[in-house]
Structures are given as structure tokens and as C-alpha cells.
Amino acid sequence: MLGDGDEKLLSLFDYILFALTLLGSFLVGAYFGLSKNKPRTTEEYLIGGKSVNVLPIAISLVASGISGNTFLAVPADIYKFGSNYVWTLLADCIGFLATYYIFLPIYFNLQVVSIFEYLEQRFDKNVRRLTSVLNLCATLCYAPLVLYLPSLAFSQVSGIPVHAITVVTCLTCTLYTTVGGFKAVVWTDALQFVLMVGSVIAVVGIGAHSVGGLWQALAIAVRGDRWEIFNFSFDLTSRNPLWGPMVGHIFFALSTLTMNQGAIQKYMGLKKFQDVKKCICLHLVGHIALKWMTVLIGNVAYAKYVECDVLQSHKIAKIDQLVPYFVLDIAGSIKGLPGLFIAGMFSAALSTLSATFNALAATIHSDLIAPFLSNDVLRRREGHILRSIVVIAGSICIISALFVDRLGSLMAFINGSVGVTCGLFVGLFSLGMVFPMAHSKGALWGIVSGFAVVGTITIVNQWYTLHGITNNFAKPLSVELCETPINITQPSDIHQPEQPFVLFRLSFWYNSVMSALIVTLVGLCVSWCSKNDRPWVDPDLISPIFKFLLVQRDMNGNSLDMYTIASSYDTDKYHFEDSQS
């Protein structure tokens, strides 16, 4: 259960709502798996045959981009550490603009199925396969987190074993994704989006009412130092300054928007590029609105427990249990509301998981299987291969979820570990799309260096964090007005452990920044030193707003011959050459 406090169980109606969420998702997926709707080609299975309209794809993008972890981990993080997470909303806006103007034009022009196809065209097969394998490993590590936290929350308020919930949920998601493909993913996301929005609005509204209104809740949070968001300190080891969530999250946002196979597949499912602008605007508005609601939940929960912290009073066992306890506390007597919130959490998890499984089918099939099979075998077995990948990915996800509870605080772990690969992909794709001089050798050394350096820093940092050696920067919490007196035992040993080297104390926000910069800088340095290896560069592989780098001119407009335009008999290419004196 939640902790040492009173047990709070769901009503029968709440269980019915949860069951209907899974059943509704399965039925929508099954509908698109029926013979008359069944996807018959790879294009139909992976991008819906470009027959889905803007609105459902935009809704699907919002739903799959907001996971159950966002609903649970973000409010808990704000409750404990403050609201500087709001700066990620500005970072998201910057990420959306960069996605639309820099990256999406190239993907849409090339009409790639797997985003890693671009890397082969821009660099070579080795870079594509290495990056695809890294993406596969990162995705299979992240997917269990998406599934585990909502399952844990449901288990805490119901008494049902967490692993039983995990198995049932993942099986449902795997089945409807397997049989229905892209359209099943999009339309189940639309259904789940309604539940997500309804649940967060209900929780914010009822929670705010329980503390005297939303403005009152925010005023209490301000007095409790939860809105110290204008902290301009350049201490990179602290999570409190605004630079971490604002700058660090830009790279995270770029990765989840631009280097995310699931998101790009949905954009590629649109008929024309004009639809992309409408879709990305709707995506941005929905994304920001839902994330803002999670910020409000964290502040309202703090206002509710400002004078009796639920963690120190042992009403919950760990901070990640805050939101389910809060929901039951404010709405346990309202039949159906806890069930609605549980349904919303699982809707977020299902939408993210289904997009993940569909994306894995695209990348594994295109990058790791298709190159080794004949065209004849692919034509005959393509459908079976794609569905088998989804089934295997779902099975791995279920098994991996058994070990998630050993990771400590999930918010820091998710942002820290995922930030490594996010930064790698941002650096690599930026290297290809922004810098014409970069080539395959530079890209390969860049991604290997970034993974080795930042991966090591992240692992050591996580070890120190789990052992309580580094400062966690938690805000003050009170137990003064708890109904039952709370005895807080002070540690007998006041000796502070020696702090590790500064690199191993850096805030998790900067992992993606470091890995992106290392990939880019090492890639450019190696490319510059390997002057004889610079190949021809197709202008279609360079972002439209950076094509000016293909030809550099002096103040008089004379070419410096750094990039020479060469015409072949069938296409125009650009080639990097050193300037001659």
C-alpha cells in the first residue's frame, strides 16, 4: 500500500473505468486489424498509407509525448524541489520551432520510413546501424519505465500486485499495436487523450478547491519557496537555477520531437508538408497545456500538505507515490474520480508504449533486418516480421519492468539516463543537417566519444546519488501540524561525506547538452583533420536554412572556394574542398 497511513482502496466503479480503458483501446486496435481495415503494405502498417488527417495525428502526438511518468514524476518533483520545471515549457517552444524549420523539411523531402535512413544517405551504413542499435537499447530501457510507474500507482491504491497490472497492460498494448498498426496507434491515442485531459482537469480543479482555490494554492507554494524560478546562478551542480531545465531540456525536446522515430512516423503520415505546420502548432499547444497541468498538480499537492509532509509522516513510502495518495485524499469519496485519474495515467502510458512499439518495428525492420534479406523474402514475410518485432518488444518490456523498482527516484533517473542518448542523437543529426563539412568518420568518432564520456559520467553520478553522497537540493518540508506527532531522528554522524569530482555532481539536466556538444565538436574536429575523406554532399541532406554554408563568400561577393558546386549528368552535388591560396 501507500505507506503506514490509512489504506485507501478504489471503489468498484473505479476498477470498471480502468477495465473499460484497456477494453476500449483493444477494441479500437482490433477494428483496424479486421480484414477490411487490416494494413496490407509496409507503408500502411507504419505510416497509415498517408490517409490519416491532421487532427487525429496531432492528438496522437500529444498523447504519446506525455507519458504516465509525466503525470506522476513531475508533480512529485515539483512538490519536493520546486517549480523551475516550468522553464521546460519555454525549451519545448524552442524545440518545436527548430524541429519545424531545421529538421522536418529534410525528412519530409526524403520520405524516409526510418529516421536513421537519413544517416546512411548523409554518412554511411556503419553510422546508421550503430545509431539504430543505440536507439534500440535506449528505447527498450525507457519503455519499462513508461509502464511501471502507472502500474505501481494503481497497485498502491488497489492492492493488486504491480507485476500483474504490468503484464495485463503491456499485453493489451502489444496486441492492439500488433494487429492494427499505425492507424490503431493513432486512434487509440485519440481515445486515450480524452481520458488524459479529463483526469488532469478534474484533479487540478478538485485539489485546488480543497485548499481554497487555485490562486490560494499558488500563493502557498510561493511562500513555501516552490516558485524560486528566477535563479540565475551558474552552479552546474545544482538543479535549482533556470539554466538546467531551460537549456538542458532544449536538447531533450529536440530529441523527443525530431529524433524520435514514433513522432517522425506520425508527421510522415501526413499527405503534404503544409499539413505539418498545422499539426505541429496543435501538437505544441496540447503538449504545453498538459505539462502545465502537471505543474499545477505539484503545486496544489504542496499546498495541501504544506504543514504535514506526507513523506516524513509516513503516509507514503517514497515521493513517487505522492500523486496517487493525493488523488485518493481529495477525491476518494467521489465515485469514479480516482478511477478516472488511473485511467488517464494508463492512457498516457498506453499511447507512449504503442507509439514506441510501432517505431521499433520501423527501425528494426528497416535498419537491422531488411538489409540482410532478399526483396523476395521481404515481400512475402514483411507483415509477419513487423508484427513479430512488436510482440518481442512487448515481451522484453514486461520482463524489464520487474527491475525498475531498483532505480531510486525516477524523475532524475529518466532525465539523466535518457538524456545521454538524446544528446547523442541531437548532436549527430545536427552534425549532418547543419554542417556540410562533416563526414562519416567524424560522425562515428563523435557518437562513440559522446557515449563513452557522458555515459560514464551518468553511471557514476547515479551511483553517488543512490548512495546519498551528492546534494539532492530538496526544498524544506514541514510536519508541524500533523495530527499524530512525528519523531524525526537526526543522523548521529554529522560528518559529511567527501564530495566527488565536479563532473560527477553535474545536474542531470546537462547530460543531453554534454553529449550533443561532444558529438558535434569531435565530429567537426575529426572531419576537419580528415580532409581527404570528405565526400560529395547532396544539398537535399542539408537543412534549408543552413544551405548558405555550402558556399562561402568574402565581403566583395567572391567565392572562397571552400565549397565547390559540381554538376554530374543526373544531379547536382556539393563537395567540400580546402581554399587555395
CATH number at residue 54: 1.20.1730.10
In a 10 Å sphere around its CB, with 0-12 CB exposed, 13-18 middle and 19+ buried, how is residue 211 labelled?
A: buried
> Does residue 167 sit within a domain?
yes
Query: What DSSP string runs through 255-305?
Result: HHHHS-HHHHHHHHTSSSHHHHHHHHHHHHHHHHHHHHHHHHHHHHHHHHT
pTM for the whole structure: 0.82
> Does residue 565 sit within a domain?
no
List C-alpha distances in Å: 318 to 294, 315, 321, 324, 436.
19, 9, 6, 12, 49
Q: Which domain holds residue 359?
A: 12-484+499-549
CA distance 365 to 378: 10
> Does residue 6 sit within a domain?
no
**Residue 456 contacts by C-beta under 8 Å, 6 or more apart in sequence?**
none
CA distance 409 to 414: 9
> Does residue 289 sit within a domain?
yes
> Does residue 520 sit within a domain?
yes
pLDDT in tens, 83-115: 889 999 999 999 999 999 999 999 988 888 788
List C-alpha distances in Å: 298 to 77, 154, 291, 328, 415.
8, 19, 11, 15, 18
Angle, in degrees to the nearest 10, between helices 54-65 and 273-304: 40
Per-residue pLDDT in tens (0 to 9) along the chain, 581 residues: 454 444 456 777 778 877 888 888 878 777 776 656 666 677 777 777 777 889 989 998 888 888 777 888 889 889 988 888 999 999 999 999 999 999 999 998 888 878 888 998 999 888 998 888 888 888 887 788 777 778 877 887 777 888 888 888 888 888 888 887 888 888 888 888 888 888 889 889 999 998 999 999 999 999 888 888 888 888 887 777 888 888 888 888 888 888 888 888 888 888 888 898 899 999 999 999 999 999 999 999 999 998 888 888 888 887 878 888 898 888 777 777 788 888 888 888 888 888 888 888 888 888 888 888 777 777 777 778 888 888 898 888 888 777 766 555 554 555 555 667 788 889 999 999 999 888 889 999 999 998 888 888 877 877 776 666 666 667 778 777 777 666 555 544 445 566 777 777 778 788 888 889 999 999 999 988 876 656 678 888 999 888 877 754 434 444 444 443 333 333 344 344 333 33
Helix (H, G, I), strand (E, B) or coil at 566: strand
CB-CB contact of 111 with 269 (8 Å): no
> What backbone torsions phi and psi does residue 503 show, to the nearest 5 degrees?
-60, -30
Torsion sign over Cα 448, 452, 458, 459:
positive
> Does residue 564 sit within a domain?
no
> Does residue 385 sit within a domain?
yes
> Does residue 189 sit within a domain?
yes
CB-CB contact of 68 with 323 (8 Å): no
pLDDT in tens, 283-330: 999 999 999 999 999 999 999 998 888 888 888 887 878 888 898 888
**Residue 20 contacts by C-beta under 8 Å, 6 or more apart in sequence?**
343
E-assigned strands of 167-279? none
**Residue 338 contacts by C-beta under 8 Å, 6 or more apart in sequence?**
10, 11, 14, 157, 327, 328, 331, 332
SS3 content of the chain, % helix, strand, coil (to 5): 70, 0, 25
Helix (H, G, I), strand (E, B) or coil at 537: strand
Cell of 549: 554554408
- If you search the block for the grid coordinates 543512490, which residue do you land on? 466
CB-CB contact of 67 with 276 (8 Å): no
Structural domain count of the chain: 1
Cell of 167: 503484464
List C-alpha distances in Å: 577 to 121, 557, 565, 566.
20, 18, 10, 11
